[in-house]
Amino acid sequence: MARYYIAVTYDVCEHNKLYEDMNEYHLDSSADFEKQIREFAKTDFAPLVKVYESDTRDFEEIRLYKEYNFKEYECGCYQ
């Protein structure tokens, strides 16, 4: 059974109580996931990227596959 993946970038700032989804990206399962996800985070300057998987192309039913945190894009409010 084929699996389909989508990555969602999030803007997060604990200081301002911000937790907001930004963009969705379809992942190419034949390519390196880590590289794609790192590029999405860089593009959106996103400290958090969540990857969801689905058994259908329409992503009607999704499951959290994995979360990726990027310290280099975290908010600098506390500094």
Q: Which residues of the chain have pLDDT under 50?
A: none
Domain ranges across the chain:
4-73
**pLDDT 10s digits, 36-49:** 999 999 999 999 99
Residue type, 54: S
User: Residue 56 and residue 44: Cα distance in Å, rounded?
Assistant: 26
pLDDT score recorded for residue 79: 57
Is the whole-model pTM more than 0.75? yes
30 within 8 A of 2, measured Cβ to Cβ: no
At residue 39, φ and ψ (nearest 5 deg) are: -70, -40
Question: Three-class SS of residue 33?
Answer: helix
- Do the Cβ atoms of 58 and 30 come closer than 8 Å? no
